[in-house]
Amino acid sequence: MDPAQRTVYLDHAATTPMVPAAVEAMTEHLFEVGNPSSLHASGRYARRVVEESRETIAQALGCRPGEVVFTSGGTESDNLAIKGIHWSRAAELGPRPRLITSSVEHHAVLDPVSWLEAGGQAEVRLVGVDSSCRVDLDQLRELVAERPVSLISVMWANNEVGTIQPIDEIVAIAAPHGIPVHTDAVQAVGAVPVDFATSGVDALTLTGHKLGGPFGVGALIVRREVGVTPLVHGGGQERDIRSGTIDTPAIAGFAAAVELAVKEQAAYAARVGALRDDLVRRVIEAVPDAHLHGGALDPLGEFRLPGNAHLGFPGCEGDSLLMLLDANGIECSTGSACSAGVPQPSHVLLAMGCDPDQARHSLRFSLGHTSTAADVDAVVEAIVPAVERARAAKAPR
């Protein structure tokens, strides 16, 4: 059975279904042969598909085609930006320059940053956030003034609580010091307006499977003037920054998805944002002590991704609630990661000032392009019995 038919899928921030345009663009090329690096006609045809896809993405995201470096997805693009730019800058700045990121990044940023620190290659500073998850710009100003900085990496929008960061202000702080800025825009592209050139950032990460494209393909958009030391060496593909035979069908599907997501962004944000507002309002009506995280600052407005509803349910363990809803066919997520079978509170919620208990009683519903009013109705119907059972399971006996 098609899982999408029997489930209420509200985990679009984890991955979202492919759009038909992307499936068509990808499958069209699956039976074709031709390595885009080959000189014969089949190779030249594959190269044309890749270069047209690059142009499509550049057009949609306001960059030059030569700035698009195809990768295997968000994790690789983040690693390439962090390590590649840091290494290149360290060659100019001297040993162990400062590397700044925020405390609420995805692990695809936090882990390469800590790896550089553990190896003695970087002095890492994490900028804190307020209770809405917005980065502390005063702290960032102090950190850039103290000593040479290789790179600032702050995500465009947070994957857990959906908060949109003030990227333009971060760029304004970095620019006078000549510090490159990277942003992980994995959750932002297609959900909010994203334009590379006008944003002023030097490097931007995106991935196919979060915006209606295939898994295993993404891009790092990076200004040509910014030095990037490659992580993968080989055939010299992608400006010698990212070697490896290029996946023509996946790139064609990715480009079709980016084009559509950007074209439909405004309509998507209006429709999905209204569904999300309805979900939050009705869940809080049904469970009056439930609350929206990141709510101190215009909770449902311009600083939050349209599809994100991150709710706290006091007295519940988020993971029990998740399993109870799953048993009713409703799929969502918690921000907690499991370590040795024990759920660990989300680093994002802790950084926002929640205590570990508050951080563990949370659920993320993330809506997307296939979400409907019936999905919201299903959550509203299931939430009260699920919360009652989760509370009973947690209450001391």
- Please say which residue, 156 or 313, places its beta carbon nearer to ligand PLP: 156
Contact pattern for ligand PLP over residues 176 through 195, marking x by CB under 6 A = --------x-xx--------
Tell which one of 101, 103, 199, 207 touches ligand PLP (CB under 6 A).
207
Query: Per CB under 6 A, does 159 bind ligand PLP?
Result: yes
> In this structure, is the dihedral angle defined by the CA atoms of residues 233, 237, 238 and 244, taken in order, positive or negative?
negative
Question: If 0-12 CB within 10 Å is exposed, 13-18 middle and 19+ buried, where does residue 233 land?
Answer: exposed
Cβ at position 190, least distance to ligand PLP in Å: 13
Cβ at position 108, least distance to ligand PLP in Å: 4
Cβ at position 322, least distance to ligand PLP in Å: 17
Query: Per CB under 6 A, does 73 bind ligand PLP?
Result: yes
> Contact at 8 Å (CB) between 263 and 35?
no
Q: Which stretch binds ligand PLP (CB under 6 A): 72-80, 82-90, 189-197, 366-374?
A: 72-80
- Please say which residue, 108 or 309, places its beta carbon nearer to ligand PLP: 108
- Please say which residue, 123 or 265, places its beta carbon nearer to ligand PLP: 265
Size of the site for ligand PLP (CB under 6 A): 13
Tell which one of 16, 53, 75, 121 touches ligand PLP (CB under 6 A).
75
Q: How far apart are CA 315 and CA 189, in angstroms?
A: 35
> In this structure, is the dihedral angle defined by the CA atoms of residues 273, 350, 201 and 139, taken in order, positive or negative?
positive
Query: Per CB under 6 A, does 150 bind ligand PLP?
Result: no
Cβ at position 69, least distance to ligand PLP in Å: 14
Question: If 0-12 CB within 10 Å is exposed, 13-18 middle and 19+ buried, where does residue 267 land?
Answer: exposed
> In this structure, is the dihedral angle defined by the CA atoms of residues 164, 167, 168 and 169, taken in order, positive or negative?
positive
Cβ at position 155, least distance to ligand PLP in Å: 6
CA dihedral 39, 40, 43, 47 (to 10 degrees): 60
End-to-end CA distance of the chain: 40
Active centre residues (catalytic): 338
- Please say which residue, 48 or 107, places its beta carbon nearer to ligand PLP: 107
Look up residue 161 and give its DSSP letter: T
CA distances from 3 to 6, 257, 339, 352 (A): 6, 22, 28, 35
Which tokens belong to 344? 């660990």
Cβ at position 78, least distance to ligand PLP in Å: 6
Q: Which residue is nearest to ligand PLP (CB)?
A: 74
Q: Find where tokens 């005063």 sit.
A: 138
> Contact at 8 Å (CB) between 185 and 204?
yes
DSSP 346-365: PHHHHHTT--HHHHHTEEEE
- Please say which residue, 210 or 276, places its beta carbon nearer to ligand PLP: 210
Contact pattern for ligand PLP over residues 84 through 113, marking x by CB under 6 A = ----------------------x-x-----
Cβ at position 34, least distance to ligand PLP in Å: 26
DSSP 30-59: HT----TT--SHHHHHHHHHHHHHHHHHHH
Subset of 347-386 contacting ligand PLP (CB under 6 A) = none
> Contact at 8 Å (CB) between 78 and 203?
no
- Please say which residue, 110 or 378, places its beta carbon nearer to ligand PLP: 110
Q: Which stretch binds ligand PLP (CB under 6 A): 71-79, 161-169, 235-243, 331-339?
A: 71-79
Contacts to ligand PLP by CB under 6 A: 73-75, 78, 106, 108, 155, 159, 184, 186-187, 207, 218
